[in-house]
Amino acid sequence: MCTQESKSLGTKGPAATQANSENSESDGSESDDSHNNNNINNNNSQGGKSRSSRPTNENDDTATAKTAVSNISMSVMNGILHGVVWVVVALQLPFLLNRNEAKILYRPAYYEYSTELSLFDNTIWTYGTDYALCIIMTSLACWILSFRHNRGTGINDNGNDVKRLCILSASMLLLYAMSTLAGGIAHQNFHTVESRNTILFRILWTICVGTVCLAPASMGMIGSEGIRLFKNRKDCPSILKSMPLISDTYWIIYGLVVTIACGLGAMSFQRPACDIFIGGTTQTPSTFYCMAFLYTMKHYNNSKSTSNSKKIHIHPHMKIMGLIGFILNATLLPIFPVLVLHLGWTLPSVNTFLHSCLCMAWSMQGFILQHVIHALVVEEENNNNIEILEEEQQQEPLKMKKVQ
């Protein structure tokens, strides 16, 4: 009996083991399936999260794009509106100062000049000083542009690039040079009223006055760039930080609107010199914007110092010179009637005096901009030299170890 029971148990053992293994395998497969299902569910949930995050990023990008478009459109609309307003103000300002004198001097021509009314000087005193102005302004622009090649015009520690300020400053001076060059050619070669009623004279004189009308674009962007460069400095005063940073789009549109008005003849008078006064008056917003920047700006050269490093500060007397340079031409508008109607000066003497004032004002503008750029470049060059010295000092111990 015992042997039979043991035999029967022996025959049942492998079958039971096989059954248990099958049960364990089935349990394992079930656990694997549940694990796979969990992975699938996790992947689906992660995929759902990633898919749900994509619309959020897309919405952020769309909102950013809409904001940028809205800002640009607002700048364009404001530029057009303010350009039109200042053209109207410039045309009316002489009559607000003295209506009787303005009626005599500011007689509209619309590029159709009258033999009885038109006055245009052709002496060397006028076109000679025009050419001299062109040479001086071109030289100043080239002087400022020479700083583009300095190592200090790269992107500095504040993430700003002085090179752009160089280009903007030079562009304003080159617009002045183009204006005086075109004016000199016109004064030298167009002696009769008939010749001034030609399309060639209209093109030349539109360039002469139009570049003055376009100069506020460069001037305004100089103010914006200056504020942007100095806002992140340690020595930046709070009043400068609170100044609005006007977009380049606004200044470009503003300048284009005024220039188009000039090209259409809105600023054309029987005395072509009066055209310049009207065009210059439209520079008022950009002039005061740059003056506000110069007045609030402070620069004490925060660069690290060595025995060989240069220190250049923007001194108060340089700032005063720059402020005078930007506002000096405003005095010519009320002085012009006094010289012509009350003192009886001749056209050559009046034009020579006006060109001399322009030379002083524009030169002072160029000098202050060059001084600001030079100070920033020297500061950044000092910082670059210090970094190079520090790197060399750190590498000297390694070189000594290699030699040993």
pLDDT in tens, 359-374: 999 999 999 999 999 8
Name the least confident of 93-107, 152-166, 282-296.
Answer: 152-166
Q: In this structure, which topology does domain 74-90+109-115+122-388 adopt according to CATH?
A: Rhopdopsin 7-helix transmembrane proteins (1.20.1070)
Report the alpha-carbon angle 213-219-225, nearest 5. 150
Give the pLDDT confidence score for residue 61 in this predicted structure.
73
Average pLDDT of the segment spanning 248-266:
97
Give the pLDDT confidence score for residue 151 in this predicted structure.
52
pLDDT of 35 higher than 70: no
Give the pLDDT confidence score for residue 334 in this predicted structure.
95
Give the pLDDT confidence score for residue 314 in this predicted structure.
81
In the chain, domain spans: 74-90+109-115+122-388
pTM: 0.79
Give the pLDDT confidence score for residue 271 in this predicted structure.
92
Give the pLDDT confidence score for residue 305 in this predicted structure.
47
pLDDT of 70 higher than 70: yes
pLDDT of 306 higher than 70: no
